[in-house]
Amino acid sequence: MSERELPPEGAKGTYALFFRLEERLTLEAGRFGRVTLPAGWLVYVGSALGPGGLRSRLRRHLAQDKRVHWHIDALTRVHRPDDWLAQAAGRRHECDWAGLLAGHPRASIPVPGFGSSDCRRGCPAHLIAFPPDVDPRALLRPSARS
């Protein structure tokens, strides 16, 4: 992952974490128990609307030495995100992004409910998988600019 500047202090909004797995990865994921994630790309989408905002949330997700608090922590403790994208906005766009990604014909949901326990729209998950030859960053970037 290229080290680049994090969003400004206090900026709130939505973010995506991109993981490139060279092989399947099995891990313990809280209430989901032992899960196996497929090789290829994984994208996790979330929102950071609290006092720390995007900068604080991304710093947490980029650190591997931490307590497991959210579902995604089980993954970020063993595999640091390869890339990330953030959009400052005053409201949640994570369901919009999850829907856009999950709607791709080659997308799959590796763990139903992962990352979406507080979802108000009923998203199947906020973790979406893609085969190695589909780079999901290209799918999301136009949406993040709008």
Six token digits for residue 132: 């190695």
Residue 48: helix, strand or coil by DSSP?
A: strand
Distances (CA, A) of 2 to 5, 6, 21, 50, 121: 10, 11, 17, 26, 33
Q: Quote the pLDDT of residue 143.
A: 53
Q: Spell out, as residue ranges, where the chain has pLDDT lower than 50.
A: 1-3, 144-146
Considering the domain boundaries, does residue 32 fall inside one? yes
Report the length, in residues, of the chain. Answer: 146
Count of the separate structural domains present in the chain: 1
Q: What is the pLDDT of residues 18-35, one digit of tens each?
A: 999 999 999 999 889 899
Considering the domain boundaries, does residue 70 fall inside one? yes
Considering the domain boundaries, does residue 41 fall inside one? yes
Considering the domain boundaries, does residue 1 fall inside one? no
The boundaries of the domain holding residue 119 are 13-145
Q: Quote the pLDDT of residue 142.
A: 62
